[in-house]
C-alpha cells in the first residue's frame, strides 16, 4: 500500500512539472483551470447583433423595392364591335303585296250578346243568307242594306210623330240609320218621302224605338253598318 501511494505521488509531480506556464501572467506557480463551453454555431452572442442588422437591412431593401415597383396593369376588357350593315329587305311579288293589304282585312267587334260581328264594309249581300243591299249608297258613300225587323213598330210608336196637318194622304218615309248594339239604330237621316207628307221626318224622329237586326255577311253580324228603313203610312187622318 505504501508503494502504491508513493507511485501516485510521483505521477502527480510529473504532471505538474510538464504543465507549461501561461505567458504574461505570474501566478506564483499556481495552476489555473479553464472551463470550455460547447460552440452554439449561429446563435453565439458575438454573431447575433451583426446578423440581425443584416436581416433588417435586407427586409428594408425589399420593402423599398416593392414600393418603387409600379402596380401591375389592370386588364381592360376588349369589346367586340357589332357589325353594322344595311337593313335587310324582303322581296315581295305583286301577289304578296295584294294579299298583305290590310285595308281588305275586315275588323271585328263584339255585340252586346257576345257574338262576334264584322264592322268593315265588305259590300256583302251576295252570298246565301247574306242581307241584301238596298241598291243605293248613303249620303257619305256608305253601303246601305235592307233593314230586317226584330219587331215592327206599332201605330202607338209612330203616330205621335206624324204631322196630321201635312199628311192628309197615304204615303211612305225612307231613312238611313247606323246599326248599334242591342238591335238599335242611331244617326238616322232622311232619304226621301211622299212629297208634301213629311213622312221621312216622322220616321227619323220615331227611329229611336226601332228594333232592327244588323246586316249579315258571311254569317257574321255587321254591327255599325247602315240600313235603309221604309215605313208605309196607310191612314194618317183620324175620322170623327
Q: How far apart are CA 203 and CA 173, in angstroms?
A: 6
**Residue 58 binned pLDDT confidence (cut-offs 50, 70, 90):** confident
Give, rounded to a whole angstrom, the gap between the first and last alpha carbons of the chain.
196
Strand partners, 143: 137
Is 90 exceeded by the pLDDT of residue 137? yes
Average pLDDT over residues 141-163: 94
Starting at the edge strand found earlier in the chain, the sheet holding 171-179 runs 133-137, 143-146, 226-233, 171-179, 185-193
The pLDDT, as a whole number, for residue 21 is 63
User: Within 47-176, where are the H helices?
Assistant: 48-68, 94-99, 155-158
Please provide residue 29's backbone torsions phi and psi, each rounded to the nearest 5 degrees. Answer: 90, 10
**57, 51 contact by CB (below 8 A):** no
The pLDDT, as a whole number, for residue 81 is 61
Q: How far apart are CA 147 and CA 132, in angstroms?
A: 9
Q: How far apart are CA 217 and CA 206, in angstroms?
A: 27
The pLDDT, as a whole number, for residue 48 is 63
Residue appearing with cell numbers 381592360: 76
Amino acid at each position: 500500500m505504501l508503494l502504491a501511494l508513493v507511485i501516485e505521488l510521483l505521477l502527480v509531480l510529473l504532471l505538474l512539472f510538464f504543465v507549461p506556464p501561461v505567458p504574461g501572467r505570474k501566478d506564483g506557480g499556481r495552476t489555473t483551470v479553464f472551463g470550455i463551453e460547447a460552440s452554439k454555431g449561429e446563435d453565439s452572442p458575438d454573431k447575433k447583433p451583426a446578423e440581425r442588422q443584416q436581416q433588417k437591412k435586407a427586409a428594408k431593401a425589399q420593402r423599398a423595392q416593392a414600393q418603387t415597383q409600379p402596380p401591375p396593369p389592370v386588364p381592360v376588357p376588349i369589346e367586340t364591335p357589332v357589325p353594322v350593315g344595311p337593313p335587310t329587305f324582303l322581296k315581295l311579288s305583286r301577289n304578296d303585296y295584294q294579299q298583305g293589304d290590310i285595308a281588305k282585312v275586315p275588323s271585328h267587334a263584339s255585340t252586346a250578346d257576345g257574338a262576334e260581328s264584322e264592322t268593315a264594309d265588305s259590300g256583302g249581300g251576295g252570298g246565301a243568307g247574306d242581307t241584301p243591299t238596298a241598291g243605293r249608297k248613303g249620303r257619305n258613300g256608305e253601303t246601305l242594306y235592307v233593314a230586317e225587323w226584330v219587331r215592327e213598330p206599332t201605330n202607338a210608336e209612330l203616330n205621335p210623330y206624324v204631322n196630321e196637318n201635312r199628311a192628309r194622304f197615304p204615303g211612305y218615309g225612307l231613312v238611313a240609320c247606323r246599326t248599334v248594339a242591342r238591335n238599335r239604330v242611331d244617326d238616322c237621316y232622311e232619304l226621301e218621302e211622299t212629297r208634301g207628307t213629311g213622312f221621312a221626318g216622322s220616321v227619323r224622329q220615331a227611329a229611336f224605338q226601332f228594333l232592327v237586326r244588323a246586316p249579315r255577311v258571311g254569317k257574321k253580324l255587321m254591327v255599325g253598318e247602315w240600313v235603309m228603313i221604309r215605313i208605309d203610312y196607310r191612314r194618317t187622318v183620324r175620322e170623327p
